Amino acid sequence: MEMLVTKFSNGKYRNEGDLFAEPISADNVKLMGEMIALQALRNVKKFDMKVADRLYIGLIKDLHHMGEIDYIVSDGYDVAQTAICFLYQYVGHSVHEIYGKDRRGKEITIKLACYREVDHFINLLRNRTDRRGTVVESNDFTDYKALPMDPVNCFEQEQTDYSKYDELVSALQLSALELAILNCYMNGMVQSEVCAELGIGRGKINSRKASIRRRYYDLYGAL
């Protein structure tokens, strides 16, 4: 299974745990900021499908195409830049080091402080586009339980060893397209994002998903 962090690091990191286990450096701070931005937007878009979802899809496209000549990045990449600039102040430190105390007097890590900075920026963008003048409450990143799983995995709740998943997928004998669709969903994408990423329609995606499900049932029985 190829996670987004694996793809964008050219295979250097197997998952986000590997990435954030390293001290912040000039070599990894960009990728760290991008992954934090993706997770923050993924969390916000659960209740904001208008602004946050647009920023999230834009950022996904940016990460896949920003190396192309004349490609213009979307507003979504501003979220990543906010995280990158924040983390760059702490080059040489671990994201798990204590940043300081929040308003409640609780110690928070550099990583959590970065999430809060990004969340504040996202809410500024959301409030700016809210024509009704409604005040939108910000997310409370008090601890890691408030964040999306890192990395997103819909098979087990907290899994860092993907050998079991790799063995399962190998047994299914999926086609290249079926494997690509499965990987997209395992990376937290919704159907519209999978369509945009792979350039195929909803009908083809649904038929391939049904095929994957049938093979799984044949091998392992109903979930």
pLDDT score, position 188? 67
Q: Which CATH class is domain 163-220?
A: mainly alpha
pLDDT of residue 21: 92
Question: What is the model's pTM?
Answer: 0.60
**How far is 62 from 76, CA to CA, in rounded Å?**
8
Report CA-CA distances (Å) from 214 to 167, 174, 208, 222, 223: 17, 11, 10, 9, 11
User: Which residue, among 125, 134, 49, 48, has the nearest Cα to 80 in the 3D structure?
Assistant: 125
Beta bridge partners, 155, equal none
Location of each CATH 1.10.10.10 domain in the chain: 163-220
pLDDT value at 159 more than 70: no
Are the C-beta atoms of 85 and 34 separated by less than 8 Å? no
Predicted local confidence at residue 88, as pLDDT = 94
* Helix, strand, or coil (residue 6): helix
Whether the CB-CB separation of 41 and 59 falls below 8 Å is answered with yes
